[in-house]
Structure 1
Amino acid sequence: MEAGPLRTSGHPAMAILYEDNHLLGIEKPVNVPTQEDASGDPDLLTLLKEDIRERYRKPGNVYLGLVHRLDRPVGGAMIFAKTSKAASRLSDAVRTRRFDKCYVAIVRGLPPLQSGKLTDTLLKDERTNTVSIVPKGTPGGKEAILDYRVLGSSPQEGLSLVRIKLHTGRSHQIRVQFSQLGCPLYGDQKYGSAVNKPGEQIALWSLYVGVPHPVTKEPVDLVSIPPRLYPWNLWEDVVYSQIAEDCTAGWDGGF
């Protein structure tokens, strides 16, 4: 296990959450695309490959396998495979749902239930890069399932803190499903433009990623606490730390 800053040639510093010969776990900065997209902006995958090449003085191409993604405006824990064998085994963990992902989000309003399961069918429009909820059985639609639990609310701000466990990893899944619930994420311009202002940073964070190590089979637990910025600072760090401890211990928190 290793923690520290990772510098990427003038781009935002990233914390290394875990690294060995097989895996690289980092804290993704907000507003950096996970992989190359139409914007042409520097992407995380390319930046990390460049860093590995420089740190280890590797000639030629550097292998780094992308096994899960975070939306561009979302920050937090991510894990990458440094070998093709590790990538294959992590992908298998994703398929068999042994790849645990826990998010925290701050949403507008208060969800109708203290905890619940959201199950929908999502359809992505690649042309507009937007996702909509469609009837089950719609061609191209994919099932999306998550569990959530409300951890606190701030009536004066009209905001609630929720913990989210994904069972599927669909594009924009959390954002779309909570918007449909009537509680769009704070700062989400795409699925909550009616209640969010331009310039607000989306309040969605990858707090925890857990997976069996592809070689040793020992648990690998990555934890990333949200920054002490509004609206995250409406709740103390101890709240986020407790969520992380519960995730690491394998507790479902009442889901």
Structure 2
Amino acid sequence: MPVENDPSQTPSLFDAVRYRLAGQQVICDRGRFLGVVHRIDQPVAGLVLFARSAEALRRLHRLFRERAVDKRYWAVVEGDLPQESGTLEHHLSNDRRTNRATAHQLPGSDRKRARLDYVVAGRSRRYTLVEIRLHTGRHHQIRAQLAAAGAPIKGDLKYGARRSNPGGGIYLFARALRFTHPMTGRPLELIAEPPPDVLWDLFPRPAAPCSFGNDDRN
């Protein structure tokens, strides 16, 4: 499901949220405003943030722009990663023709720096559950960096997975957001649970996001 409306006329998450809030008389009370704060790739599931006022949307956009939002993802990857926890740093280039990012070790004029932290949260015989904290928000960043590390996401054929998943999705899930509420100043932690699924259910699910030793998001 696309986050916002597109020319295909496919029902969007935006429409679903608007319909849900209208039923609760939330949109009506706020002048029918609903703004998309950020997006996730179409084959990715999980948490998407909306704002119910223009001022909240403006302030939330600033938080994301200033990297003041702690963004966590879960991924089920094929194979394993070299360490129990670590940091992946690459320079990403994008091919618009194929809509694919490539992770490089060296910088270049057409490349953007990409950085993420990861922790191995569980293992099965064939797959590994990884929790990821993003420092940068590049196009297809997690997918490209994990593939470059030799651990493509389950079902992600574009980045080297062995086979696709039924329905075309991939095992990448937007798990949590931590930030300061733009209007009240209170700390917020939003957590989403993956849907019931044989593969997700292979792994015990941590009750809270993993702790990373370094909180530097630069």
How far apart are the structure 2 equivalents of 1:188 and 1:98? Answer: 29
Q: CA distance change for structure 1 residues 160 and 253 in 2, over 3 Å: closer, same or farther?
A: farther
Alpha-carbon RMSD: 2.4
Distance in structure 2 (CA, Å) of the matches to 1:181 and 1:154: 19
SS in 2 for 1:78: coil
- Return the alpha-carbon distance in structure 2 between the equivalents of residues 40 and 128 of structure 1: 23
Q: Specify which structure has the higher proportion of strand.
A: 1
In the alignment, which residue of structure 2 is the partner of 1:80?
50
Tell me the equivalent position of 2:163: 196
SS of 1:58's equivalent in the other structure is helix
**For residues 198 and 161 of structure 1, do their structure 2 counterparts lie closer, same or farther at Cα, with a shift above 3 Å needed?**
closer
The aligned counterpart of 2:81 is 111
How far the C-alpha of 1:92 sits from its partner, in A, is 1.4
Aligned pair 1:230/2:198, yes or no? yes
TM-score between the two structures when normalised by the length of structure 2: 0.86
Offset of residue 38 of structure 1: 5.2
2:113 matches 1:153: no
Aligned amino acid, residue 163 of structure 2: N
Matched AA of 1:181: A
Helix, strand or coil at the partner of 2:176: strand
Whichever residue aligns with residue 235 of structure 1, its letter is: F
> CA shift at 1:168, angstroms?
1.1
Tell whether the 8 Å contact from 2:179 to 2:188 is kept in structure 1 after alignment.
yes
Contact 2:78 2:127 in 1 (8 A): yes
Contact 1:34/1:44 (CA < 8 Å) preserved in 2?
Answer: yes
Indicate if the aligned counterparts of 1:189 and 1:198 stay in contact, CA closer than 8 A: no
2:90 counterpart of 1:124: no
TM-aligned CA distance change 1:217 to 1:77, over 3 Å: same
Q: Which residue of 2 aligns with 1:5?
A: none
* Counterpart code for 2:212: D
Residue number among 136, 146, 150 corresponding to 2:107 in the alignment = 136
Query: What is the number of residues matched between the two proteins?
Result: 212
Q: Which residue of 1 aligns with 2:62?
A: 92
Q: CA deviation at 1:228?
A: 2.8
- Is 1:187 the equivalent of 2:147? no
Task: For residue 183 of structure 2, give the secondary structure of its aligned residue in structure 1.
Answer: coil
Quote the offset at 1:235 in angstroms. Answer: 1.1
SS at match of 1:222: strand
CA-CA distance at 1:150 after TM superposition: 1.0
Q: Larger relative CO (CA 8 A, sep 6+): 1 or 2?
A: 2
Q: Deviations over 1:131-169 (max 9, x none)?
A: 222441232x322110001122112xx111111000111
From 158, 170, 173, the counterpart of 2:141: 173
Q: In the alignment, which residue of structure 2 is the partner of 1:240?
A: 206
Report deviation, 1:179.
0.8
Question: Shift of the alpha carbon at 1:129?
Answer: 2.3
Where structure 2 has 5 or more consecutive residues not aligned to the other structure, the ranges are none
Q: What is aligned with 2:28? A: 58
CA distance in 2, matches of 1:231, 1:66: 30
Over the matched positions of the two proteins, sequence identity in percent amounts to 36
Q: Distance in 2 between matches of 1:163 and 1:253?
A: 14
- Indicate if the aligned counterparts of 1:78 and 1:209 stay in contact, CA closer than 8 A: no
> By how many angstroms is 1:39 displaced?
4.0
